[in-house]
Amino acid sequence: MSISAHLPVLQVVLPLISAPLAVLLRHGGFAAAIVTTGAWAAFAAAIGLWLQVAESGTLSYHIGNWAPPWGIEYRVDRLTSFVLLLVSGTAAIVLPWSRASIEREIPQELHYLYYAMFGLCLAGLLGITITGDAFNIFVFLEISSLATYVLIAMGRDRRALTAAYRYLIMGSIGATFIVIGIGFLYLMTGTLNLADMAVRLREVENTRPVLVALAFLTVGISLKLALFPLHQWLPNAYTYAPSAVTAFLAATATKVSVYVLIRFYYSIFGESLVFEQLPLPQIMLVLSLLAMFIASFIAIFQDNLKLLFAYSSIGQIGYITLGLSFGSVTGLTGSIVHLLNHGIAKAAIFLLIGGLVLGLTRPGTTPVVPGFDRLAGLSKKMPLTCIGIVIAGLSLIGVPGTAGFISKWYLILAALEQGQFWLVGAIVLSSLLAVAYVWRFVEVAYFSPPPASSTDIKEAPFSLLAPAWLLVIATLWFGLDTSFSIGAASDAARQLLKTGS
């Protein structure tokens, strides 16, 4: 048995096994070790899969040795391996970071459960990405979602519970809509295998059940990806969850949902149905613009730093769906590369805010809320943390030299290709809103005098700063050397647009 032949399944199985092992071991330290090993093994598998796909094209793995379409198939193409790298890489960085952070935020006897749920969530997200079977997407989606609800409910503040409840209700409605959509597709094509479904869908494309399936899938996935009017669960869920959980979710949960949307639109329904016959591009354009402007605007007025960046996430997701609405290679490239760029930047910001919260909290007390009144003059006491947040914030704005600029550049190129000059203006204008909310942080941290009671605040410990700064440096790296990110994204976009009808 050669490991490289079984990489697709090991990608999911290794984190999945680490979760019940963590439950059996009960002790926080051992659980942490097992789940972190599982996450690093998953990252290694993702790198292995990336190299294999680059060399030999799309991989197909038959679970249980049943040939598709009877059995479940795991299918890895360029986009899949790209998203796998993002998700497993984020977990590999956040898990070692979370050891120090959850000491304060979660009671000691629940640590092993935190790690078990993290392992399950990671396995679920990896499973959604890699599977080539429609119902399997739903099953892994629910595995990761249920684990996420538990992780969010572990936050200290009692509002974490209401945030988890609201996310549970909205997320379950979203998942139910997705399964209704899959049900209609199954009824019309008779198969659950995505590749087979794409072929069979050509004959029944314009029948009403298929259009209904498209509608239900779009709404269900939009609930999961927090597209503008359906974003209500995100701000509170990101704010009141434990810091490590927020960092992991901000970089992965919505991005995997975007992956599912791209997969359904391009590989199954095909661009001719979705983008040419139906008004979906226009609808998505309007909703993306609303997200970009309204969410960024709300972010400016927030008092809690985590809430501010949570609203900023909703705005940034607007950029991703804006790229989708163009339906061209450039637009899709911009969307896919923004998955990576935004994921890295947001994970860095939330990790740094977690370190900030820990630095501000006196030992033995509950973690403080990072409200702007406490952040005054913080740059003197926690210089590395603050400059890290500023650099990642520059990536959110899209300053040249940071990764965010690359994605916005491709979005602007896509708009110019289609002759929509007003859209270029809209993208630039919404970036100015991002300047406003990043400037609020800079003003408070750098230009306000520190309060008198802040003498015992120190910089966050090295174990917390190192992973976060790794991500900050990655943001700068991907802004200057785009060969990996743009190379991967444009290859993925070209492959999707070629294989769709």
Instruction: Give the C-alpha separation, 270 to 280, whole Å.
Output: 13
In angstroms, give the least distance from the CB of 387 to another protein: 26
Tell me which DSSP letter residue 182 carries.
Answer: H
Instruction: Please enumerate, as own/partner, the contacts of 27-35 that have beta carbons within 8 Å and a separation of 24 or more.
Output: 27/112, 28/108, 28/111, 28/112, 28/115, 30/112, 31/111, 31/112, 31/115, 31/116, 32/95, 32/99, 32/111, 32/115, 34/115, 34/119, 35/95, 35/115, 35/116, 35/118, 35/119
Identity of the residue, 149 or 478, whose beta carbon is nearer to another protein in the bound complex: 149
Is the distance from CB of 472 to CB of 388 less than 8 angstroms?
yes
Identity of the residue, 156 or 494, whose beta carbon is nearer to another protein in the bound complex: 156
User: Which residues have a Cβ under 8 Å from the Cβ of 24 and sit 6 or more positions away?
Assistant: none
In angstroms, give the least distance from the CB of 475 to another protein: 32
In angstroms, give the least distance from the CB of 47 to another protein: 20
Identity of the residue, 162 or 420, whose beta carbon is nearer to another protein in the bound complex: 162
Q: Which residues bind another protein (CB under 8 A)?
A: 1, 6, 9, 13, 16-17, 19-21, 23-24, 26, 61-65, 107, 110, 113, 135, 138-139, 142, 146, 149-150, 153, 158-159, 161-162, 164-165, 168-169, 172-173, 175-176, 179-180, 183, 186-187, 362, 365-366, 368-369, 371, 373
Supply 239's token pair: 């704010």
Task: Kindly list the distances between the CA atom of residue 114 and the CA atoms of 26, 109, 153, 169, 463, in Å, as whole numbers in the listed order.
Answer: 11, 10, 11, 22, 19
Is the distance from CB of 305 to CB of 239 less than 8 angstroms?
no
Identity of the residue, 18 or 485, whose beta carbon is nearer to another protein in the bound complex: 18
- CA quadruple 401, 404, 406, 408: dihedral, nearest 10: -130
In angstroms, give the least distance from the CB of 343 to another protein: 26
Task: Kindly list the distances between the CA atom of residue 429 and the CA atoms of 40, 68, 289, 397, 426, in Å, as whole numbers in the listed order.
Answer: 40, 48, 11, 10, 5
Identity of the residue, 72 or 287, whose beta carbon is nearer to another protein in the bound complex: 72
Distance between start and end Cα atoms, the chain:
38
Paired with 62 in beta bridges are 73
In angstroms, give the least distance from the CB of 422 to another protein: 36
Radius of gyration of the CA atoms of the chain, in A: 22
Identity of the residue, 369 or 497, whose beta carbon is nearer to another protein in the bound complex: 369
Identity of the residue, 20 or 425, whose beta carbon is nearer to another protein in the bound complex: 20
In angstroms, give the least distance from the CB of 146 to another protein: 6
Identity of the residue, 20 or 487, whose beta carbon is nearer to another protein in the bound complex: 20
In angstroms, give the least distance from the CB of 362 to another protein: 8
Instruction: Give the C-alpha separation, 161 to 459, whole Å.
Output: 30
Tell me which DSSP letter residue 461 carries.
Answer: P
Tell me which DSSP letter residue 332 carries.
Answer: H
In angstroms, give the least distance from the CB of 131 to another protein: 12
In angstroms, give the least distance from the CB of 117 to another protein: 10
Identity of the residue, 159 or 380, whose beta carbon is nearer to another protein in the bound complex: 159
In angstroms, give the least distance from the CB of 84 to another protein: 17
Identity of the residue, 10 or 496, whose beta carbon is nearer to another protein in the bound complex: 10
Paired with 133 in beta bridges are 193
Instruction: Give the C-alpha separation, 308 to 246, whole Å.
Output: 13
